[in-house]
Structure 1
Amino acid sequence: MSAPDVYLRSVGSALPGERIDNAMLARRFGQNRLWEQWVAMFVGTSSRYLSVDLDTAEVRFSLADLGETAARAALSRAGITAQDVDVVVLGTATPDQLMPATVNLIADRLGVNNVPTYQMQSGCTGALQALDVARQLIVSGRHRTVLVMGGDVCAKHFDLSVEFGDRSPGEQINALLFGDGAGAAVLSAEPGPGNQAVVRDLFVRFTGLGRPPGQTVEWFGLADRGDDRPGAFEDYKAIERGVPVLAVEILDELLDRTGWAKDELDVVFPPQLSGRMTQTIVKEMGLAPATREVSCVAQTGNNGNALPFLQLEQGVHELAPGSRSVLVAVESSKWIKAGLALEVLYPKG
């Protein structure tokens, strides 16, 4: 007996504040026009959205704020209410607090109660880890409708009092790459209105045995608050070498598991590190000319676990019946591979 279909009913997202382009960053950090051009050329990210005000250092949005907005959008588009939700799952690397869990704060705001809630602690594959948990709960027959969220807010890791030029390269790159945001999706055992996107495959796999972390994000408590370790550090060269290779491996595995040919793919949602890195990854994937790539990182910044939802929101509702798409995600802090395959069914009758 085959497993029941799991439908992607809807997707929603939320970005904080105004768009911050490279010129605004250059002015804030005391950099010149050449620096701005260097960011555009070598990083390839033209803008991002931040939950912290660059001028005042005031934190204006929390992950709970953004998650609630994204969740309400996803529920509305799915044509359901919070009372129809059986489970809530959140994937994030940057919860608002260690306790209470941010997923529970969002559930409370939405009016969800007396249902299981789960929070996945992970980098850029956390969104797919959350989707995988949701899918398995639906396939088991225990639950029928799951609200899945993913997002990251880096405000607590921004120290605007430190001169930008005094930071190490590993710290500087974080200020250029990252942004904030949240996304949400409704997975269900029942189809909704419009196109019926079905999850054909979804896997998540730790692949970091013996590999040094590509990124480290600290969480300081009272005992080590005065520690001089940087709050976040990135080995961008290791990521630059490793992610394209892993992305190709994920794509090949998805094709093998689904039995699809590469030239049968209508849309690919590639990993979103930066504008430049995404271009490199797509080139390594060797996609067919007719395959459409859906990326957003150059405009939104790398907002971690929000990115898969932002990509899906851009592309999935435009997919025609019979179309096939895959989403590839890589978590480089301790190396996790994740992939999602979607197929849009033809309307019944």
Structure 2
Amino acid sequence: MTKQVFSRIAGTGSYLPEKVLTNDDLAKLVDTSDEWIAARTGIRERHVAAEGETTSDLAYHAAVRALEAAGVDAKDLDLIVLGTTTPDVIFPSTACLVQARLGAVGCPAFDVNAACSGFVYALTVADKFIRSGAARTALVIGAETLTRMLDWSDRGTCVLFGDGAGAVVLKADDETGVLSTHMHADGTKAELLHNPVGVSKGFKPDEHNAGVRVMMAGNDVFKHAVKALDSVVEETLEANGLDRHQLDWLIPHQANLRIIEATAKRLDMPMERVIVTVDKHGNTSSGSVPLALDEAVRSGRVQRGQLLLLEAFGGGFTWGSALIRY
């Protein structure tokens, strides 16, 4: 009988740009205030990439830290999957650019674009590679420079997003690690959260810079996100025969504190068992979940053997979850 193979998180890493933009800083740009932003989103500040600092730069630094934590040499990687919606260039993929800097040339490397669910999607792909035997050591990254596509005159969106990257190294193991992942999408809701820039479609910027900005119907997105995350959480628990009270930590996408609190309430989890970084990072899209995971690991809150539920929701719509025995 063939022994079952699992993918285990061997190390985590993250990176944030040096520049910090507070709510008070934003109040000098648009009609807003720290109180207004914090009350509606829970965000107090976010990091912004420096001039010339790219998504691959952030991803590379997060990857190096994850590899160091895992005790893995980049040359031993069998796979690199990078979730992003803000690649350096259209091609080559940002994963290939990171691969070159790491010196891991030879293994497959590619990007996954699932907006804010990008890391969960990328983790799922890497997990399948390892479970199938096609890879034994994989680097999974979520990285974004979303501030590059913001309309800084639109207070409904510019206050929400930040830049950052997180990464994990997965290794094949006969002990359980990633127990299950679950992915979903609904392209019929694309217009509720999107960016109209594209090569095939083309774009013509207007006086409002509409061609390069995040466009979002906030209230509609909120309602769909809460419903979708409730559903995928229930699906995850049922698939693993678990009760919600068996979870040690919820590590959610850091988009909005109200959405995080709604999910925690559904799980009957006290906020003390929920990793929250949205106040310091804002919404870093694909970078959100791995950033929160790395902070939780390095702070000592997340310990080996604990049961973690990761979940995310993003444009597409896309949403997904991962249940992990850390």
TM over 0.5, yes or no? yes
Q: Percent identity?
A: 26
Please name the residue that 1:38 is paired with: 36
Please name the residue that 2:71 is paired with: 79
Is the 1:247–1:271 contact (alpha carbons within 8 Å) kept by the matching residues of 2?
no
The correspondence for 1:287, drawn from 265, 268, 276, is 268
Is the 2:264–2:271 contact (alpha carbons within 8 Å) kept by the matching residues of 1?
no
| TM-fit CA distance, 1:246 | 1.1
Q: Quick one: structure 1 residues 155 and 20, their matched pair in 2 at CA, closer, same or farther if it must change by over 3 Å?
A: closer
Q: Quick one: structure 1 residues 153 and 30, their matched pair in 2 at CA, closer, same or farther if it must change by over 3 Å?
A: closer
| TM-fit CA distance, 1:251 | 1.0
Q: Quick one: structure 1 residues 139 and 30, their matched pair in 2 at CA, closer, same or farther if it must change by over 3 Å?
A: closer
The correspondence for 1:324, drawn from 291, 307, 317, is 307
Is the 1:326–1:339 contact (alpha carbons within 8 Å) kept by the matching residues of 2?
yes
State the SS of the aligned residue for 1:213: helix
CA distance in 2, matches of 1:30, 1:341: 40
Residue 296 in 1 paired to residue 277 in 2?
Answer: yes
The correspondence for 1:235, drawn from 189, 206, 217, is 217
Is the 2:120–2:311 contact (alpha carbons within 8 Å) kept by the matching residues of 1?
no
TM-score, normalised by the number of residues in structure 1:
0.84
* Residue identity opposite 1:278 in structure 2: I
Please name the residue that 2:167 is paired with: 184
State the SS of the aligned residue for 2:188: coil
CA distance in 1, matches of 2:264, 2:183: 20
1:117-141 C-alpha deviation (Å, 9 max, x unpaired): 1211120111011111111111111
Q: Higher mean Cα deviation, 229-238 or 79-88? A: 229-238
Is the 2:55–2:144 contact (alpha carbons within 8 Å) kept by the matching residues of 1?
yes
Please name the residue that 2:323 is paired with: 341
TM-score, normalised by the number of residues in structure 2:
0.90
1:123-162 C-alpha deviation (Å, 9 max, x unpaired): 01110111111111111112100111111112432456xx
1:107-126 alignment runs, 5 A limit: 107-126=99-118
Count of aligned pairs = 319
Please name the residue that 1:311 is paired with: 292
* Residue identity opposite 2:66 in structure 1: A
1:46-195 alignment runs, 5 A limit: 46-52=44-50, 59-158=51-150, 164=153, 171-190=154-173
Is the 1:266–1:290 contact (alpha carbons within 8 Å) kept by the matching residues of 2?
no
CA distance in 2, matches of 1:82, 1:60: 25
Is the 1:274–1:297 contact (alpha carbons within 8 Å) kept by the matching residues of 2?
yes
Q: Quick one: structure 1 residues 237 and 159, their matched pair in 2 at CA, closer, same or farther if it must change by over 3 Å?
A: closer
Please name the residue that 1:247 is paired with: 229
Is the 1:45–1:276 contact (alpha carbons within 8 Å) kept by the matching residues of 2?
no
Is the 2:20–2:45 contact (alpha carbons within 8 Å) kept by the matching residues of 1?
yes
Is the 2:232–2:320 contact (alpha carbons within 8 Å) kept by the matching residues of 1?
yes
CA distance in 1, matches of 2:311, 2:149: 27
CA distance in 2, matches of 1:71, 1:61: 16
| TM-fit CA distance, 1:320 | 3.9
Q: Quick one: structure 1 residues 10 and 37, their matched pair in 2 at CA, closer, same or farther if it must change by over 3 Å?
A: same
| TM-fit CA distance, 1:211 | 3.1
| TM-fit CA distance, 1:176 | 0.4
1:86-137 C-alpha deviation (Å, 9 max, x unpaired): 1111111111110121111111111111111121112011101111111111
Please name the residue that 1:24 is paired with: 25
1:262-298 C-alpha deviation (Å, 9 max, x unpaired): 1111111123212333233323x24244971112112
Q: Quick one: structure 1 residues 224 and 330, their matched pair in 2 at CA, closer, same or farther if it must change by over 3 Å?
A: closer
CA distance in 2, matches of 1:262, 1:290: 14
Q: Quick one: structure 1 residues 121 and 26, their matched pair in 2 at CA, closer, same or farther if it must change by over 3 Å?
A: same
* Residue identity opposite 2:19 in structure 1: E
Please name the residue that 2:184 is paired with: 205
**Structure 2: 5+ residue stretches without partners:** none
Is the 1:270–1:282 contact (alpha carbons within 8 Å) kept by the matching residues of 2?
no
* Residue identity opposite 2:278 in structure 1: V
Q: Quick one: structure 1 residues 82 and 40, their matched pair in 2 at CA, closer, same or farther if it must change by over 3 Å?
A: same
